[in-house]
Amino acid sequence: MTGKANRVVNPQDLEHLAKLLDGRGGTGDKLDEAFTRASALGVADRLGPIKPMRSWISDTAPELRRKAAYARLEDGDPLAGLLLAGFTPEQLKGKQLPPDLLLVANAAASDDKVDDGWLKRKDGETLDDWIVRVQGDAVTQMTGNEQLGKAVATYIEGAANLAAFFNASSVAILGGKSLISYFKTSKVLNAPGTFTARLINGHWDKLARVPRAGSWLARVSPSVIAGSDEAAMLAGYMRKGAFYLPTSTEANLLKVAQRGGLGQAAKAAGWIRGAGVVGSAGATAWGVANLATMDHAKAWKEDKAKYLSNWTGTAFNASLTAAMIAPNPVTVGLAVGTGVAYAGTLIWDNADKIEAAAEDAADWVGDKAEKAGEAISEGAKKLGSALNPFD
């Protein structure tokens, strides 16, 4: 029961029934297995009467999910719009999705006068691709300007790729330098992304003397932002025959949690490192969700660069999470390696856009330089004329 007076249906029951029909190990898989075995035994004709069940399953399961999504929409479920778009509850489980996008999807799906066909998931479209496209299509729907919608979608995708490239390349470069120092001079490794935290811990007294900001900074403990060295000491270990007490940016948070609890681990991490761990872990979960919604054979055939960037991006975020939690040569090395791979596949995937942008930039610079030269030349002529008493 859903509590609605006009219907007696539980959307979860409908979704479970659909899963029994076309889910892994469901009726559809068992039917395919039966036909495969029958064909191997040369008796496939005996199963002729139940052959129509294949098309019935392929039609009925999506219809059950569609009805379940409308039932969820009536109940105010924020994921109803995405379910109507063609994603399954399993694919969306535990995913942090943009609230504004959920509102747009639900609003379009609930209005009978609005054509919500643009919300439907396209064949082979991943969750990541769908989100980028729909944001652009939403602009098209609101403005009636298709070119503007495409421009918005391109900008969103480009900004995301650019941010991902700089993150991956910076981790690869800085992490690589740290590993070289580790193996050459036995320098202790810091967690990736903690450069700012190290600056704060090392120079907080100077920052607190900055006019205006200083009075506020003086009231804030640096350990809250950059991590507590005192809590990090719980991860102490033997190093070169002596007991070493790591700083907040060097400490293995797993060891701190094991010896002092999650509270001490949070103190050792501080806000900067903690936010980095949460962010990279969330990106890993998102990457897994994106891969789960992908038709791998089709994706590989259509765009190998993009397919590989999805895999390397997920691997990079997973290894980055591990390195931020427990920095050591293995985790940092994996973050460096996957960072190089991810940055490389992003360049490969966006090579045509990079080339086009470079050509546009060169044209723009050339055009501006030409105009600037004309202006300077004209200005010089005027100046010369003004200074010439015989002119």
Please check the confidence at residue 242 and state whether its pLDDT lies above 70: yes
For residues 317 and 359, the model is more confident at 317
Range with the poorest average pLDDT among 6-20, 53-67, 87-101, 132-146: 87-101
For residues 10 and 1, the model is more confident at 10
Cα 189 from Cα 178, distance rounded (Å)? 7
pLDDT of residue 87: 81
Q: By three-state DSSP, how is residue 310 classified?
A: helix
Give, for 154, the enclosing helix (H) or strand (E).
Answer: helix 146-185
Cα 335 from Cα 191, distance rounded (Å)? 11
* Whole-Å CA distances, 96 to 47, 78, 100, 105, 279: 45, 12, 12, 15, 11
pLDDT of residue 121: 81
For residues 279 and 107, the model is more confident at 279
Q: What is the CA radius of gyration of the chain?
A: 29
For residues 110 and 48, the model is more confident at 48
